[in-house]
Structure 1
Amino acid sequence: MLLYQCIDLLKIFIPIMAFVFTIYKYKKEISHKTAIQDFEQISKYFSGGGLDTLKKHSTLAKDAACETVSFFKGNKFIEIESLLEGDIHLDELRKIISLKKSRIILFDSKSAKMQISPDYKKKILVGWTKNAKWYERVCWFFLIIYVMVLVFVSVKFSWTEDWLGIMSLVLLVGMWEIPMLLKIEKRKQVEWFEYEKKQNLSEGLFKKFLSS
Structure 2
Amino acid sequence: MCCSITLSSALHDYSSLAVCNSIPPYAILSHTWGADGIKKIQFCGEEAAKDGLGYFWVDTCCIDKSSSAELQEAINSMFQWYAKATQCYVYLEDVSTGGLAQSDLSSQQTWKLMFQKSRWFTRSWSLQELLAPKSVEFFSGEGLLLGNRISLMQEIHDTTGIAIEALQGSPLSNFSIAERFSWARKRTTKPAPDGDTEIYELEQRSRGI
In the superposition, the TM-score normalised over structure 2's length comes to: 0.28
- Indicate the structure (1 or 2) with the bigger Cα radius of gyration: 1
Name the structure where strand makes up a greater proportion of residues. Answer: 2
In the superposition, the TM-score normalised over structure 1's length comes to: 0.27
Larger RCO, structure (CA 8 Å, separation 6 or more): 1
